[in-house]
Structure 1
Amino acid sequence: MPNLPKSALECRDVTVKFGDVTALSEVSASFAPGQIHAVVGQNGAGKTTFARVAAGLVRPTFGAVDVMGHEIRTGQVRESRAAGVELVHQSFALPPSFTVAETMEFGATDKGGIYSRKALAEKWRPHLAGLDVQVDLNRRIRDLPIETQQGIEIARALVTDARVLILDEPTAVLSPAGIDMLFSRVRRLKARGVTVILILHKIREVLGIADTVTVLRGGRKVEGPLPIAEVPAERLANLIVGDAVARTLDGHDRDALVGTKSPAGGDADQPSQAKGPAVLSMKAVSTRPDSEGIALDTIDLDIRPGEIVGIAGVEGNGQKTLVRAISALADLDGGSIALAGQDVTRQPLAARRAIGLRIIPFERNVEGLSLTSSLWQNWSARDLLQGSLLKVIRPAVIREACDRSLRAWSVHYHNCGQRAGSLSGGNAQKVILAREVDPAARLIIAAQPTRGLDIGATAFVWQALRQARDRGAAILLISSDLDELFDISDRVVVMLSGRLNGEFRAPFDIGSVGAAMTGAAVRANA
């Protein structure tokens, strides 16, 4: 293509500081036009900050950004968009009550007006069809599957004929089939001359889609952009985590953590460690619809001591309601729940915790910790809630016990009196582990326990869950990361639309599990 500039997007010595924290440090990278580029790194590497600088959402402390050979003013979203840069965030920003056609029109104009739904549908149908987004334009966004919502996000971003499209962690919430669909759209955009930059963290995805790869670590550029053909998977894994960290990781764990290949789990012929009667037994459990999540529909699930059961599924298919039902926070419409042989169907959360229920919640900074309270107050909440209201509280004794526990869990902190909100994500999660994974734990619910953690903290969480299993605890692991589920689960159960849609045992087949996640097939290798 004649007259194309050397770079579609170029960042020169970009540094971003948030107070005393340096998110990016002197990052320079040039992305050639009409190609698919991957930017990779573990959590906290600076990938999202990099994307937000390029899109004008963050003004760098130092450095410059060029688009199609022309320098633009940084920190100006309108100027970045006018230059042809669009960013699709990991968390979708579609108005849930709008129809597809209304969403497209609003994204194109940002203005109201008088219109007919039929005219809007006719206006936007060709644009969506050109990106292979097959959808009824009169359906509301909230009623669409995740893969379709993402397709609409991309289509809306391209309304202005964007020349550089940045997708931030676009595969994080997709099923395997959804990832294939996304990559098909990305290749179609490349054929149209669009430069696509994908923020990714799994190596096999990078190798399957990108022309070049750039690696960030600790806010600095390590390498890149490098042609994919010149970067073996083993080298790319070491670039992402660093040689020192790579040497500390078990080979299977490293494959799962960086996505070198999809782990299949253990040997199917290896005898299960699970033994004894079920710690959790759910029989025909259904819940009433409410505003907190999709209702459960006749759930039958048993978990025995000494096993980790993973729950797979595209987010929003009842995982949160499942946890709320086990925790006595969702009203049952039918069925029963037993813990350690005791019927707790009508028992409150406190009674269930007294039996040995422990919860690592979905949102550690909302449900798991009080960020404005001290570490010792957060750590001691379990015992205080389960004890008598007349119990004498001795802060000095609790602080001493808290110190011993946090040191045992390798939490990096100054003192037990500091606020929980002052900790990093990994250390905050370790505080929750120190509180919830105690000797009395019989059923541990681990809901997205590694989301937002770096590779070292993730490996620590996995080790803690395995050790709890080996001590005889039953563990329910809910994760949107199939690599995580396959690596440490003894069984994987798929949730779809509030129901269980298949059960699988190691060695796991990603195609079969993925088909169950989307409803394309129900197959169990149990």
Structure 2
Amino acid sequence: MALASGKSPLPQHALACGDVSVLFGEVAALSQVSLGFEAGRIHAVVGQNGAGKTTFARVCAGIVRPSSGQLLIGGEPVPLGKVNAARAAGVELVHQSFALPPSFTVAEAMEFGAQGGGALFSANALRARWAAHLEGLGVEVDPRARIRDLPVETRQAIEIARALVTDARILILDEPTAVLSPSGIDTLFERLRGLRERGVTIILILHKIREVLGIAETVSVLRGGRLIEACVPVGEIDAARLANSIIGSAAGLDKADKAALVGDAAGAPAPHTASRTAAAPILQMNAVTTRPDGEGRPLDRASLIIRSGEIVGIAGVEGNGQQTLVRALAGLVGLEHGTITLDGRDVTRRPLLERRAAGLRIIPFDRNSEGLSLTSSLWENWSARRLLLGRILSFVAPARLRKACQASLTGWDVRFATTTQPAGSLSGGNAQKVILAREIDETARLVIAAQPTRGLDIGATAFVWRALRASRDQGCGVLLISSDLDELFDIADRVVVMFSGRIVAEFTAPFEIAAVGQAMVGDVSLEQAA
């Protein structure tokens, strides 16, 4: 598809940039991007990882100074790379990672985040000051509540309220739906529509095509730092064209994966129809309650069965025990009650190495801090599981391991120069492939995949999906933990919901997003309860 023409921004645009380029060393994060956003509308900016979306948002907010180009707000030029200047002109950016201090009360956090704060208030006066502001924005929360104790949807609403303290006229949100439940996304979208009616121009950095088409009035696409589509009205673009603009014609996705990624049910993969009710259980977790250890919500009488040849998805708002579930299955947290059986072997009191020897494989939540040693070589990262399972003082032949690593990574389509390069030099998608290559082999029996596609672009996401399906088809049990319901619905055979450390509901295809969403926030009927 031809690149969108770089028209000069018009003065009536709420925000416009002209010929903006950003260089990080020799890498062009943005290349001559010219784009203007009409005032009082909701605009989406989309693209794969590395396309330049977040860099673009940070340029608009004055956080990143471009190598060249200009920024206009309300038709007036704004100094580049100056946060205070962008804020003074009415631009606020809500980052994907929440910024308000978790130990603060809501009132304290709002005062902390307010520009020009610093006046002294009594506790009562501080609560009254911010209660009125929050109420005016439709945020129902006690100003005395601690940020850390609030649901993620409320925390995000407070972040937006903080951004509007300065009467911002342009609100930019970077991946605002990444950690929200379906009902939380609906609430966010209604809140954004309300802000639009008040004249606020909203720019959303998104990655889900369904959401783009559901909330935005225009959509712009970046690919490789270049502008592919410029503020196209959503009524003039469909999911297939948008996917092609994002991915490009050389992405190498098959029809089924592309259909699933854009939400085309007619072209999506057929459901996995193999009989599983008679298959042997790979995992049996019976009424497991874990000891509180300060590292996550404990499990509370959680029971789960995963059989050979099925993918079971775990849905739930983050922080409801998903991380504890993985640690319990790995033997990294103590149990107060219950048993865990892996492939017919009672491993309740057995250490992680014995569970790995029994076929447990883990793709962890954070590939950079838990999955890989970024400063170690690829061959050392790839060899870690094999070395751990080997005999103490057994002979280690680095040359043999490097050769085996080379073959394995090549087979998993990892793009790398040499097995001696550090893991931190790889892109997110290739780093995840290294973990897949290390964890999934012919001896795997239970594969735990925790947020395996978070932060990955469309092509890498499809690759991970194919790897998990292949493991299932080879007889493994797969436990997929994801905050993305679209992902769970597309590849899981069953979906169970976690809430407050418990498994509260179970669903089979065809999945109903409303019912799953209700269970995620604790609204579950007895018929659904697990």
Per the normalisation by structure 2, the TM-score is: 0.94
Alignment of 1:127 with 2:133, yes or no, is yes
2:33 alignment counterpart = 27
Alignment of 1:85 with 2:88, yes or no, is no
2:432 alignment counterpart = 429
Distance (whole Å) between structure 2 residues aligned to residue 41 and residue 294 of structure 1: 34
SS at match of 2:461: helix
Q: Report if aligned partners of 1:505, 1:525 keep a CA contact under 8 Å in 2.
A: no
Alignment of 1:187 with 2:193, yes or no, is yes
Change (3 A) 1:249 1:12: same
2:406 alignment counterpart = 403
Distance (whole Å) between structure 2 residues aligned to residue 131 and residue 259 of structure 1: 33
What amino acid maps onto 1:133 in structure 2? V
Deviation at 1:113, TM superposition (A): 5.5
Deviation at 1:465, TM superposition (A): 0.8
Q: Report if aligned partners of 2:282, 2:342 keep a CA contact under 8 Å in 1.
A: yes
What amino acid maps onto 1:71 in structure 2? P
Change (3 A) 1:316 1:259: farther
Distance (whole Å) between structure 1 residues aligned to residue 66 and residue 303 of structure 2: 52
Distance (whole Å) between structure 1 residues aligned to residue 266 and residue 313 of structure 2: 15
1:66 alignment counterpart = 72
| Per-residue deviation, residues 233-254 of structure 1 (Å, max 9, x unmatched) | 3322222222343x73334x32
Q: Report if aligned partners of 1:262, 1:483 keep a CA contact under 8 Å in 2.
A: no
Question: How do 1:23-422 residues align onto structure 2 when only pairs under 5 Å count?
Answer: 23-109=29-115, 114-245=120-251, 248-251=253-256, 253-259=257-263, 270-273=273-276, 275-422=278-425
Distance (whole Å) between structure 1 residues aligned to residue 262 and residue 84 of structure 2: 35
Deviation at 1:182, TM superposition (A): 0.5
Backbone CA RMSD of aligned residues: 2.0
Distance (whole Å) between structure 2 residues aligned to residue 262 and residue 85 of structure 1: 41
Q: Report if aligned partners of 2:504, 2:529 keep a CA contact under 8 Å in 1.
A: no
SS at match of 1:453: coil
Q: Which moved more, 1:314-323 or 1:105-114?
A: 105-114
Deviation at 1:215, TM superposition (A): 1.0
Q: Which moved more, 1:128-137 or 1:107-116?
A: 107-116
| Per-residue deviation, residues 119-144 of structure 1 (Å, max 9, x unmatched) | 22221222212221111111111110
Alignment of 1:11 with 2:17, yes or no, is yes
What amino acid maps onto 2:479 in structure 1? L
Deviation at 1:290, TM superposition (A): 2.2
2:4 alignment counterpart = none
Deviation at 1:261, TM superposition (A): 7.0
Q: Report if aligned partners of 1:265, 1:489 keep a CA contact under 8 Å in 2.
A: no
Distance (whole Å) between structure 1 residues aligned to residue 258 and residue 520 of structure 2: 25
What amino acid maps onto 1:367 in structure 2? E
Q: Which moved more, 1:227-236 or 1:334-343?
A: 227-236
SS at match of 2:505: strand
What amino acid maps onto 2:179 in structure 1? V
Distance (whole Å) between structure 2 residues aligned to residue 265 and residue 404 of structure 1: 30
| Per-residue deviation, residues 155-189 of structure 1 (Å, max 9, x unmatched) | 00000000100011111111111111001111111
Q: Report if aligned partners of 1:104, 1:156 keep a CA contact under 8 Å in 2.
A: yes
Distance (whole Å) between structure 2 residues aligned to residue 450 and residue 326 of structure 1: 21
Distance (whole Å) between structure 1 residues aligned to residue 43 and residue 279 of structure 2: 51
Distance (whole Å) between structure 2 residues aligned to residue 344 and residue 160 of structure 1: 56
439, 457, 481: which one aligns with 2:460: 457
Q: Report if aligned partners of 2:288, 2:300 keep a CA contact under 8 Å in 1.
A: yes
Distance (whole Å) between structure 1 residues aligned to residue 264 and residue 211 of structure 2: 9
Change (3 A) 1:335 1:374: same
Q: Which moved more, 1:152-161 or 1:8-17?
A: 8-17
Deviation at 1:258, TM superposition (A): 3.7
SS at match of 2:507: strand
| Per-residue deviation, residues 267-296 of structure 1 (Å, max 9, x unmatched) | 59x453464321111111111222221111
Change (3 A) 1:442 1:135: same
Unaligned runs of 5+ in 1: none
Deviation at 1:110, TM superposition (A): 6.4
Change (3 A) 1:267 1:410: closer
| Per-residue deviation, residues 274-331 of structure 1 (Å, max 9, x unmatched) | 6432111111111122222111111100111111101111111111111011111112
Distance (whole Å) between structure 1 residues aligned to residue 56 and residue 510 of structure 2: 38
Q: Report if aligned partners of 1:5, 1:33 keep a CA contact under 8 Å in 2.
A: no
Deviation at 1:44, TM superposition (A): 2.1
SS at match of 1:248: coil
* % identical aligned pairs: 64
Distance (whole Å) between structure 2 residues aligned to residue 94 and residue 142 of structure 1: 10
Change (3 A) 1:433 1:451: same
- How many residues are paired up? 520
Distance (whole Å) between structure 2 residues aligned to residue 110 and residue 290 of structure 1: 40
SS at match of 2:490: helix
Distance (whole Å) between structure 2 residues aligned to residue 525 and residue 209 of structure 1: 32
2:523 alignment counterpart = 520
Per the normalisation by structure 1, the TM-score is: 0.95
Distance (whole Å) between structure 2 residues aligned to residue 20 and residue 260 of structure 1: 38
Change (3 A) 1:175 1:290: same
Distance (whole Å) between structure 1 residues aligned to residue 318 and residue 393 of structure 2: 42
SS at match of 1:485: helix
Unaligned runs of 5+ in 2: 1-9
SS at match of 1:476: strand
Distance (whole Å) between structure 2 residues aligned to residue 256 and residue 152 of structure 1: 33
Distance (whole Å) between structure 2 residues aligned to residue 417 and residue 243 of structure 1: 33
Change (3 A) 1:333 1:343: same
Distance (whole Å) between structure 1 residues aligned to residue 204 and residue 264 of structure 2: 17
Distance (whole Å) between structure 2 residues aligned to residue 472 and residue 100 of structure 1: 49
